[in-house]
Each structure stands twice: as C-alpha cells, then as structure tokens.
Amino acid sequence: MSTEQDPGFDPATGDGPAPVADGRRAASVRTAFEGMLQIRRLTNVGHDAPESVPAPWEANRPVRAVALALEAAGLPASATDATGLRTATGYRLRPGEAVGGVRVEWLGPPGSGAARTEEDGLGRCATALRESGWTVLLYRGARRRRFLEVEPPAGARGPDGRQVLS
C-alpha cells in the first residue's frame, strides 16, 4: 500500500527524473519483476511455460509492464528534468500505434550521440522483451530514427477472456 511518504514503485519509462540507482531501487525492481512472474504463473494456466507469456495484467498496462521488463533486464532509461529537457540516454516508452502496444525509442540529451547508439540500445531492448514473451518489431521513422513496436503475442487474452489483439 502506498502512502504520501512512500508513493510506491513505478518502473522507469524514460520520461521524468532518472530513478535513483541504489540498492533500494534494485530491490524494488527485483521484487516487482518477481511479482509479475508470479502473476504470469497464476493466470497463464494451460501454457507449457506460463512465465514466458505476458499476463492479462500486462496486456492491460503495457507501458508499465514493458518498463518493468526493461528495467529488470538492467537497461538504462532516458530521463528528463523539470523543464522536459533530456538528461540521460536510454529507452523511452509511450503507447504504441496498436491497441495494447508500446513504442520504444532510444533518446538522449542534445549532443549525446543517442542516434549513433540507438541500434545497439534498441537491439538490447528487443532481446530483453522477446525473452520476456513480447512480440517486438523494429521500424524506421522520421529522420531515419529507429524505434520498436512491442505488443503482447498474438492470441493473448484479457481478463474477460477476449483476445487482446487480433
């Protein structure tokens, strides 16, 4: 339960201040990720490997779920200061084009060289997300910048039993 003093755990999405990289943060990420895996085991009944398929909870909160998977894999998130200026190079997440999808970009401060490192950074993100059971596609967008579109696998089901994506 969260309080005003302890707002609870939010995985890094690449917008907002950089998370404090300390033992408490690492423990919170580990605990949240293990909790997500437990939810998968309990809700993905009938799958040969229930931990390898995103749970309905994740399909209904895809940005949060993808952020948790990336942070648990040790990948850096981008960050912004109070004015919205980028202060760190890493992944940035936002809702994707498809319902239940997430767009993953590799961004950094002006002059940081994020465009030169995006292929490697997005490649590491794609690997971590595929290992976590997500479907990942690489695209090239405006100014030839690459980005990922991440979705639950085809056939994933929501809590009401209906297919999340066709």
3-state DSSP percent of the chain in helix, strand and coil, to 5: 35, 20, 45
Q: pTM for this structure?
A: 0.86
Chain Cα centroid distance, residue 152: 12
Question: How confident is the model over 43-50, as a mean pLDDT?
Answer: 84
For residue 163, the model assigns a pLDDT of 46
For the segment 52-59, the average pLDDT, to the nearest whole number, is: 89
Return the closest-CA partner of residue 32 out of 61, 16, 44.
61
Strands (E), the chain: 79-80, 86-88, 90-95, 102-107, 135-140, 146-151
